[in-house]
Amino acid sequence: MIDYLIVGGHLAGIAFAETAINGGKSVIIVSDKSQNSSLAAAGVYNPVVLKRMKPTQNAWEHIMYMKPFYQALENKLGLKIDYSIPLYRKFSSIEEQNMWFEALDNPKLTPFLHPEIIHESYDGVPSPFGFGKVLYTGYIDTVSLIDGYWKYAKENKILINETFNYDLLEVSESFVSYKGVSAKHIVFAEGFGIRQNPFFSYLPLNGTKGELLLIKAPQLKLPIGIKAGLFVLPVGDDLYKVGATYEWEDKTSVPTEAAKRELVEKLAEIITCPYQIINHYAGVRPTVKDRKPLIGTHQSLENVHLLNGLGTRGVMLAPYMAKELFDSIESGIPINRENDLKRFPTST
């Protein structure tokens, strides 16, 4: 019998698998690639909500925990996945500059904001009002992470590459069983796939579709990421990720022309140099109505657990949320009430 059966092999599932393995536990992951929000994500980590100039919840703890977590994964997989890169908020007016200085007076934001306006010149990026520099930013190459971890999992025979069939899961008081695999616990980390999950489908994970572009712009030569309505993120070889859109009605992973037009129009307000669209991605983010994660144990089944609702900040949240869930299961440490799925009552 293994310790953990994990349903979902993308960001949340990988984070929990690694947390469990590092805790001396055995795991098996069951996953396909039907939920591709991690694969379609830019993977940006940023401790500040720049639109409202507010820190993200527990930003310092999450940043400080995720950095060594991903570094250990890099060493384990022999891959480069964590790219620290400055993120610059492009100002469009004196008023936006003043908002930046007002934000600096907030002690929760001070550690993350450079105190001076940056007047750097970048070809193809008009910036008469300069930039504000956000600290402790970068991106995780989620595609390389997932591909690399799946390779590791296959080599170590801990991956079942298939769509999980809920009808074949048997849950008893002391263990769960699935297609001949018995485990002490099962952790569901299937993102938007929760809508088909009979144990947790009552939870208000609505999902938000996001689309982004990969462009090639040889004249741009940006060494930084820029945020101005959308982000422009250099990923090497004159390639840049541009995004992202927010769509609350369409729950498909199919790229749309409407989103592409929106991204192109907004990009025209940031850069003036020519570019070529290389690719167009779409995915449904696992977002919750109160913008908080969904982690914890089923109301009545002590060996059925959930790690979900990481939303737009999955790369920052996944390692810490995985630890919080693992510590709750193994040591009985209470989950932060803001993140605990028990804040939402069951439908019965």
In the chain, domain spans: 2-41+143-206+289-343, 87-134+208-285
- The pLDDT of residue 239 is 96
pTM above 0.85, yes or no: yes
Question: Residue 308: how many CA atoms within 13 Å on its side-chain side?
Answer: 34
> How many residues appear in the chain?
348
Query: Which option is the CATH number for 87-134+208-285: 3.40.50.300, 3.20.20.105, 3.30.9.10, 3.30.465.10?
Result: 3.30.9.10
Question: Superfamily assignment of 2-41+143-206+289-343 in CATH?
Answer: FAD/NAD(P)-binding domain (3.50.50.60)
Q: Are 270 and 90 in contact (CB under 8 A)?
A: yes
Q: How far apart are CA 283 and CA 150, in angstroms?
A: 20
Q: How far apart are CA 305 and CA 170, in angstroms?
A: 14
- The pLDDT of residue 348 is 42
Strands 27-31 and 208-216: unpaired
Q: DSSP letters of 286-303?
A: --BTTS--EEEE-SS-TT
Tokens 């541009």, located at residue: 242
- The pLDDT of residue 34 is 65
Strands 44-45 and 138-140: antiparallel
- The pLDDT of residue 18 is 98
Helix-strand-coil split of the chain, %, nearest 5: 30, 30, 40
Taking the chain (348 residues) in runs of 10, the rounded mean pLDDT of each run is 96 97 98 68 88 86 96 97 95 93 91 93 93 95 94 97 95 94 97 90 90 96 93 95 91 92 96 96 89 94 96 93 98 95 79
- The pLDDT of residue 177 is 97
Q: Are 171 and 304 in contact (CB under 8 A)?
A: yes
